[in-house]
Amino acid sequence: MIVSGVDESQVRDVPPAELALRLAELKCNAVAPRPEVPADALVLGCDSVLELDGEALGKPADADEAVRRWQAMRGRSGVLHTGHCLRDVAGGRQVATTASTTVHFADVTDDEITAYVATGEPLHVAGAFTVDGRGGGFVTGIEGDHHNVVGVSLPLLREQVRTLGHRWTDLWAG
């Protein structure tokens, strides 16, 4: 994995799904031309944002913001948008798509929120939660692709690989 170093604050004032897609494209296009990327590589850039009440929620700035988010999210549902941009370095083609999954949150207590935020886990992820970590116990349901909530929609990625003329199963080799 290569970290893009993209300044995410450069994209503003766009709807949450579009924000996720634009950031994924910026990240992919920042990594693809780097000299350490093999000439025959497929480069994937992804970014996620949680939409709650029409607002895009990325990573919280600090613990206080994470607590406020959880207080707003508890007992409610949000839509996690993950932008996926896949580039075929050799062919120069790329495809970009956003996957969206509805996430239902438990009606967690203030004590549970405080304890969860104290772990540090919600400070490093979009929407201040993970479904595959400690926060998974606070997710009561998912409508759509579970993989998308983890961070990469595998079914969507498979379609992108095929769109670029490659076979999904070839990615398993080596």
User: Does 132 participate in catalysis according to the annotation?
Assistant: no
Annotated catalytic residue: which of 7, 13, 40, 47?
A: 47
Closest CA to 174 of 45, 84, 40, 44: 40
Closest CA to 108 of 150, 66, 58: 66
**Which contacts of 51-56 are long-range, i.e. CB under 8 A and separated by 24 or more positions?**
51/16, 51/17, 51/78, 51/79, 51/80, 51/81, 52/76, 52/78, 52/127, 54/16, 55/16, 56/15, 56/16, 56/19, 56/20, 56/81
Buried b / exposed e along 100-126 (16+ C-beta atoms within 10 A): bbebebbebeeeebeebbeeebbeebb
Catalytic residue numbers read 47
